[in-house]
Structure formats: structure tokens, C-alpha cells
């Protein structure tokens, strides 16, 4: 079974910036309260999480980097784990560049010396 997270429906039609301190609906909030818990549950069950990007007006690169690259930076998951557990979907071509950015942020992320707490 796959868990589906539709950002526009399940999180916000107006995703914000990088950090919670930047305002509502940040990449940090999405990662910490929605994406990481869903991924942890799915991995424990041997399942996947599909994130649907369609719906919002757009995404700031800082949101995408924090939400997706932050999974690796803060040692929540490594790239290999994510490649088997996470699918990012852009049904509308408008969202394809955002999908490519999110995947790039995952692939380029380097684990931080200090893990998230």
C-alpha cells in the first residue's frame, strides 16, 4: 500500500518558505509534521509514500530544499532509503520543474554533523 500526501489538499495551497520562523506552511513544518512521520511509518511497513505536488500556486526553492533535502541533511533518511520509499509526482507539466528541484535537492544533500532533534 502507498501513502499519498497531496500537498495542496493535505498541507497548504500556499506553501511558504524554508523555516517555521519564516511563517506558516514552511518546508520545515511539512517535513517534520507530515513527510518524515509518513515516511517512517511507510518504511517500517515496507511501503512507499507518494507526494503529489499539483495544486499549490507554486513553490519556493527554499521550501523544497528544506522539505526534501532536509530529510538527508538532518539524517532522517539517506538517498538510498528515499529512492525506495519516496515517489514525487507532478501530474500537471507546470509542476515538473518543482519535481526536478525536489529530486535534485535530495540527491545533492549532504548529511549534517548535527542531526535534527
Answer yes or no: is 36 within a domain: yes
Number of domains observed in the structure of the chain: 1
Q: 32: domain range? A: 2-108
Answer yes or no: is 116 within a domain: no
Answer yes or no: is 66 within a domain: yes
pLDDT above 70 coverage of the chain, percent: 97
pLDDT at 114 over 80: no
CB neighbourhood size of 86 (10 A): 23
Answer yes or no: is 24 within a domain: yes
Answer yes or no: is 113 within a domain: no
Place of cell 532536509: 70
Answer yes or no: is 21 within a domain: yes
Answer yes or no: is 68 within a domain: yes
Answer yes or no: is 57 within a domain: yes
Q: What residues does 88 pair with on adjacent strands?
A: 51
Q: How far is it, in rounded angstroms, from Cα 17 to Cα 5?
A: 19
Supply the pTM of this predicted model.
0.94
CA distances from 95 to 43, 56, 84, 117 (A): 26, 9, 22, 31
In this prediction, residues 29-38 reach a mean pLDDT of: 98
pLDDT at 116 over 60: no
Amino acid at each position: 500500500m502507498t501513502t499519498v500526501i497531496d500537498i495542496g489538499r493535505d498541507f497548504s495551497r500556499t506553501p511558504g518558505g524554508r523555516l517555521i520562523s519564516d511563517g506558516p506552511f514552511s518546508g520545515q513544518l511539512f517535513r517534520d509534521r507530515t513527510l518524515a512521520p509518513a515516511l517512517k511509518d511507510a518504511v517500517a511497513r515496507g511501503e512507499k509514500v507518494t507526494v503529489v505536488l499539483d495544486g499549490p500556486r507554486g513553490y519556493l526553492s527554499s521550501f523544497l530544499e528544506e522539505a526534501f533535502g532536509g530529510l538527508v541533511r538532518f539524517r532522517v533518511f539517506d538517498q538510498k532509503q528515499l529512492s525506495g520509499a519516496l515517489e514525487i509526482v507532478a501530474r500537471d507539466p507546470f509542476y515538473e520543474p518543482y519535481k526536478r528541484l525536489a529530486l535534485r535537492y535530495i540527491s545533492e544533500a549532504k548529511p549534517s554533523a548535527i542531526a535534527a532533534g
